[in-house]
Amino acid sequence: MERKTEKGEMKNDTLLEKGMEILWSKGYNATSINDIVEAAGVPKGSFYFYFKSKEDFTVKAIEKYFGTMFPPALEVLQNKSVSPKQRILDFYEFRSQVLKDELNCKMGCMACNLASEMAEHNEEIRKAIEVKTQLVNTYITEAVEEAQEYGEIDTTLNAADLVAFLEDAGKGAMVTMKERNSAYPIDNFMSMVRKLI
Amino acid sequence: MERKTEKGEMKNDTLLEKGMEILWSKGYNATSINDIVEAAGVPKGSFYFYFKSKEDFTVKAIEKYFGTMFPPALEVLQNKSVSPKQRILDFYEFRSQVLKDELNCKMGCMACNLASEMAEHNEEIRKAIEVKTQLVNTYITEAVEEAQEYGEIDTTLNAADLVAFLEDAGKGAMVTMKERNSAYPIDNFMSMVRKLI
DNA sequence: ACCAAAAATATGACCGGTCGTCTAGTAAAC
DNA sequence: GTTTACTAGACGACCGGTCATATTTTTGGT
| pLDDT tens readout for residues A13-32 | 999 999 999 999 999 999 99
pLDDT grade, residue B190 (50/70/90)?
A: very high
Percentage of residues in chain A with pLDDT exceeding 70?
98
- pLDDT of residue A159 exceeding 80: yes
- pLDDT of residue B102 exceeding 90: no
H-type alpha helices, chain A = 6-26, 33-40, 44-50, 54-77, 84-97, 110-118, 123-149, 159-180, 184-196
Write down the ipTM of this complex: 0.93
pLDDT for A1 equals: 45
Q: Could you check whether A1-51 and A54-196 share the same CATH topology?
A: no
Is strand D within 7 Å of residue A48 (CB)? yes
pLDDT for B3 equals: 47
pLDDT for B4 equals: 65
pLDDT grade, residue B54 (50/70/90)?
A: very high
Is B180 close to A117, i.e. CB distance below 8 A?
no
Give the count of beta carbons closer than 10 Å to the beta carbon of residue B154. Answer: 12
pLDDT for B8 equals: 85
Which residues from chain B sit within 8 angstroms of residue A165, using beta carbons?
169, 173, 188-189, 192
Domain A54-196 classified CATH 1.10.357.10? yes
Domain boundaries, chain A: 1-51, 54-196
- Average pLDDT of every residue of chain B: 95
Which of B27, B126, B181 comes nearest A29 by C-beta?
B27
Which residues from chain B sit within 8 angstroms of residue A135, using beta carbons?
none
**pLDDT tens figures, B121-148:** 999 999 999 999 999 999 999 999 999 9
| DSSP-assigned letter for residue A155 | T
Q: Give the residue on A whose Cα is nearest the Cα of B25.
A: A120
What would the mean pLDDT of A85-91 be, rounded to a whole number? Answer: 97
Which of A106, A115, A169 comes nearest B178 by C-beta?
A115
> What is the radius of gyration, based on Cα positions, of chain B?
18
Per CATH, which fold does B1-51 belong to? Arc Repressor Mutant, subunit A (1.10.10)
pLDDT for A84 equals: 96
Is A130 close to B179, i.e. CB distance below 8 A?
yes
Which of B168, B181, B191 comes nearest A161 by C-beta?
B191
What would the mean pLDDT of B37-46 be, rounded to a whole number? Answer: 95
Three-state secondary-structure class, residue B177: helix
Is B116 close to A173, i.e. CB distance below 8 A?
no
**pLDDT tens figures, A32-86:** 999 999 999 999 999 999 999 999 999 999 999 999 999 999 999 999 999 999 9
pLDDT for A4 equals: 65
Is B175 close to A172, i.e. CB distance below 8 A?
yes
What would the mean pLDDT of A109-132 be, rounded to a whole number? Answer: 97
Can you say how many angstroms the Cα of residue A183 is from the centroid of all Cα atoms in its chain?
Answer: 18
pLDDT for A98 equals: 96
Is strand D within 7 Å of residue A41 (CB)? no
Which residues from chain B sit within 8 angstroms of residue A26, using beta carbons?
121
What would the mean pLDDT of A171-187 be, rounded to a whole number? Answer: 97
φ and ψ at residue A5, rounded to 5 degrees: -75, 170
Round to a whole number and report the distance in Å from the CA of A18 to the C1' of C26: 27
- pLDDT of residue B1 exceeding 50: no
